């Protein structure tokens, strides 16, 4: 709105010079101001690379053109036969073309994907335009298209950190972990001390985990946490990796940190309860599972694990196991047969 106000102010000031009976010099100055005033926002924005924003304000720069044309048509109507009809017809045609263009542009502005496609068509050599289109494709779940435009952005600027990171995320989503590893490693090599470098370490860790390289994955997760202490997803994934490796003590600590930093409460408590159960701490496990089934009474895993924890503690857990069976937990039937003397659930 600041830039629009500047453009409109320039137009209004120019009109005061042009339409008032003043000297020709002041009229010429007014005409110059009429064009220069609305163009100031464009001059300010274009060097910063904001081509899309500048394109929007181009409509402000069009206003003086139409105003000046209407002035010329008005003057011509006094000298040419049928000029009034011609002037009105021409004006209507111009306004129709302008209305159509404005409508089309409005539709583009209300559709992020279409808008950025239009920008890329106009500025194909802009790495920012390619990146913005790739991001929009990613949001629309158009992964192959997103990968194409992220790749074009990195070709236009080999040090485009966000584009390499986006390319890695898309390749990981497409299960192209080898390509994703290269992208994330490129990000780390470009800016190893960047404030957001933890994201590259985190996503690279997930790729290592998918490839069956837990040691490398755990190392990257620790690096991600070193750069971003409160990054809850890294704590959660690190806890899962530690639990899978049998390090239940440290896994419990990481689940607790993930929970403290706002990760999904149900997932953290459920998995922490499993690690607590492996260590024989059934009381703490039951406390976590109480929260799980309270948050989601349809969580069959929570009911089943709480029934097992109660049975290990010497408390009757058959009601929980039967509830898990009703919810379709497959191992509940066997557990009931072993711990509840085959009691029927009917």
Question: Tens digit of pLDDT for each residue in 43-69?
Answer: 444 444 444 444 555 555 555 555 555
**What's CA 342's distance to the chain center, in Å?**
52
HSE of 344, CA atoms in CB hemisphere, 13 A: 1
Say if pTM beats, i.e. exceeds, 0.85. no
Q: What is the pLDDT of residue 46?
A: 44
Q: Report CA-CA distances (Å) from 98 to 62, 65, 101, 173, 206.
A: 9, 12, 5, 43, 51
Q: How far apart are CA 286 and CA 281, in angstroms?
A: 9
CA distances from 37 to 31, 48, 63 (A): 10, 19, 11
Looking at residue 213, its pLDDT comes to 94
Query: For the chain, what percent of residues have pLDDT higher than 90?
Result: 57
pLDDT mean across residues, the chain: 80
The C-alpha atoms of residue 36 and residue 26 are separated, in whole angstroms, by 15
pLDDT under 70 in the chain at which residues? 1-88, 90-91, 94-95, 97-110, 341-346
pLDDT for position 19? 54
pLDDT of residue 51: 44
User: By percentage, how much of the chain surpasses pLDDT 70?
Assistant: 68
> How far apart are the C-alpha atoms of 285 and 160, rounded to whole Å?
47
What pLDDT sits at residue 300?
94
Which tens digit of pLDDT belongs to each residue from 195-236? 889 999 999 999 999 999 999 999 999 999 999 999 999 999
Give the pLDDT score at 99: 67
pLDDT at 340: 85
- Residue 98: predicted pLDDT: 62
The pair of three-digit structure tokens given for residue 28, joined into one six-digit string:
């010429």
Alpha carbon distance 124, 155 (integer Å): 12
Tokens 């500025």, residue located: 123
Distant-in-sequence, close-in-space partners of 45: CB < 8 Å, separation ≥ 6: 3, 53, 54, 57
CB count within 10 Å of CB 139 equals 11
pLDDT digits (tens, 9 = 90+) for 245-256: 999 999 999 999
Let me know: does 38 contact 61? Beta carbons within 8 Å.
Answer: yes
* Burial of residue 193, with CB atoms counted within 10 A of its CB: 0-12 exposed, 13-18 middle, 19 or more buried: exposed
Name the token pair of 77: 């109507």
């Amino acid at each position: 709105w600041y830039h629009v106000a500047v453009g409109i102010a320039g137009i209004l000031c120019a009109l005061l010079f042009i339409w008032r009976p003043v000297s020709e010099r002041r009229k010429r100055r007014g005409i110059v101001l009429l064009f220069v005033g609305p163009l100031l926002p464009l001059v300010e924005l274009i060097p910063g690379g904001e081509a899309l924003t500048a394109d929007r304000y181009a409509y402000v720069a069009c206003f003086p053109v139409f105003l000046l044309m209407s002035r010329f048509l008005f003057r011509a109507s006094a000298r040419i036969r049928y000029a009034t009809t011609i002037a009105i017809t021409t004006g209507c045609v111009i306004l129709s073309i302008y209305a159509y263009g404005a409508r089309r542009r409005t539709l583009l502005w209300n559709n992020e994907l279409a808008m950025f496609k239009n920008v890329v068509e106009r500025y194909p050599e802009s790495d920012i335009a390619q990146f913005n289109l790739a991001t929009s494709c990613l949001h629309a779940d158009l992964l192959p298209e997103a990968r194409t435009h992220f790749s074009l952005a990195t070709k236009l600027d080999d040090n485009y950190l966000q584009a390499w990171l986006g390319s890695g995320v898309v390749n990981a989503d497409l299960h192209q972990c080898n390509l994703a590893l290269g992208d994330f490693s490129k990000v780390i090599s470009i800016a190893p001390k960047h404030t957001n470098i933890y994201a590259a370490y985190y996503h690279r860790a997930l790729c290592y985990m998918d490839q069956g390289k837990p040691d490398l994955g755990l190392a990257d997760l620790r690096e991600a946490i070193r750069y971003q202490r409160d990054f809850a997803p890294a704590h959660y994934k690190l806890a899962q990796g530690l639990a899978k490796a049998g390090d239940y003590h440290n896994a419990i600590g990481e689940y607790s940190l993930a929970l403290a930093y706002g990760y999904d409460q149900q997932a953290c408590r459920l998995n922490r309860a499993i690690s607590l159960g492996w260590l024989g701490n059934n009381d703490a496990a039951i406390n976590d599972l109480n929260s799980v089934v309270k948050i989601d009474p349809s969580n069959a895993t929570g009911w089943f694990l709480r029934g097992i924890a109660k049975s290990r503690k010497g408390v009757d857990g058959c009601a929980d196991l039967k509830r898990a069976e009703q919810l379709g937990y497959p191992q509940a039937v066997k557990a009931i047969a072993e711990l509840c003397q085959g009691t029927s659930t009917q």
